[in-house]
Amino acid sequence: MAAVVRVPDILAKKQQGEPITMLTTYDFNMARLLDAAGVDMLLVGDSLGMVVLGYRNTVPVTLDDMVHHSAAVARGVEHALVVADMPFGTCHSGPDDAMRAASRLVQEGGAAAVKIEGGHQITDVVARLTDGGIPVMAHVGLRPQSVHQIGGFRRQARTPSEAELLLHDVKALADAGAFSVVLEAIPHYVAAEATQAAPIPTIGIGAGPHCDGQVLVSYDVLGLYDRAVPKFAKQYADLGHQVTLAAKQFVDEVTAGQFPPPPHQPS
Ligand code: KIV
């Protein structure tokens, strides 16, 4: 097994021009399987709310949900850096509240870092957590927790003024101490400019090939979720279909009296 990944290793990868990989995960066993693949970071994303808990968006996910799932993931990981999402409502009532929430994710949830959606508005929170010893991954562009404000899961930074604001946000977040930043659903040329300008690694999702790293939702990668899959996601396996086939075979065999097999008769 490769060495444990730590925050300075992620920064070093940018400096050395080595691509960074991150996948989401939400439970112990999947964390073990994905960790064994050698992924650099495992994100306990609040996409948990959609792919595991069945909500239509990430807004209903609570801090208790995140702590519970992060702890399960942390128990399964030996190599990757575990990053846990700060869920809706935990960062915008001030740095002290954010520090309390982040501390739970690190102390009880076993995360090594937290991810926060937001731009220049949250630099005080980023600075407070970083000063308190909690590494912060920022998240700009499409911020799914703002779905009600944006009016859907829409691509961002499409006008020159929006792109300018995003570049300004990335700089402000890096200055505040963020160790990396997720760029979600923005034009590839904006992501390229942010990546070139930022002293910290950019991790893209639907942001083109010029980021320092890439992240995807593991349920999209594995074909385990077919509600609202973004166009930019790549499906590498069709496990959802395999699961239904296996379960159907079980149902058929039990119904037909083929499983369990008859006990061995002593001869
Ligand atoms: O919650 C999540 O899965 C995320 C990724 C889309 C980056 O934030």
Closest atom of ligand 1 relative to the 117 alpha carbon: 8
Q: Does the residue 163 lie in any domain?
A: yes
Number of domains composing the chain: 1
* Alpha carbon distance 260, 236 (integer Å): 34
Q: Is 123 in the pocket of ligand 1 (CB under 6 A)?
A: no
E strand or H helix at 173, and its extent?
helix 160-176
* Alpha carbon distance 187, 154 (integer Å): 12
Q: How much is the pLDDT for 1? A: 53
Q: Does the residue 196 lie in any domain?
A: yes
Dihedral Cα 134, 4, 53, 202, nearest 10 deg: 60
Q: Is 57 in the pocket of ligand 1 (CB under 6 A)?
A: no
Q: Does the residue 245 lie in any domain?
A: no
- Residue 144's CB is within 10 A of a number of other CB atoms, namely 21
Q: Does the residue 123 lie in any domain?
A: yes
Q: Does the residue 139 lie in any domain?
A: yes
CATH code, domain carrying 71: 3.20.20.60
Q: How much is the pLDDT for 92? A: 83
Q: Is 136 in the pocket of ligand 1 (CB under 6 A)?
A: no
Per-residue pLDDT of the chain (267 residues; tens, 9 = 90+): 578 999 999 999 999 999 999 999 999 999 999 999 999 999 999 999 999 999 999 999 999 999 999 999 999 999 999 999 999 999 989 999 999 999 999 999 999 999 999 999 999 999 999 999 999 999 999 999 999 998 889 999 999 999 999 999 999 999 999 999 999 999 999 999 999 999 999 999 999 999 999 999 999 999 999 998 899 999 999 999 999 999 999 999 999 999 999 998 777
Q: Does the residue 256 lie in any domain?
A: no
Q: Which domain holds residue 180?
A: 7-238
Measured by CA distance, the residue closest to atom 8 of ligand 1 is: 45
Is 184 one of the annotated active-site residues of the chain?
Answer: yes
Q: How far is the CA of 87 from the centre of ligand 1 (A)?
A: 11
Comparing CA positions, the residue from 221, 210, 120 lying closest to residue 166 is 120
Q: Which two tokens stand for residue 3?
A: 């060495």
Q: How far is the CA of 2 from the centre of ligand 1 (A)?
A: 25
Q: Does the residue 248 lie in any domain?
A: no
Q: Does the residue 249 lie in any domain?
A: no
Q: Is 218 in the pocket of ligand 1 (CB under 6 A)?
A: no
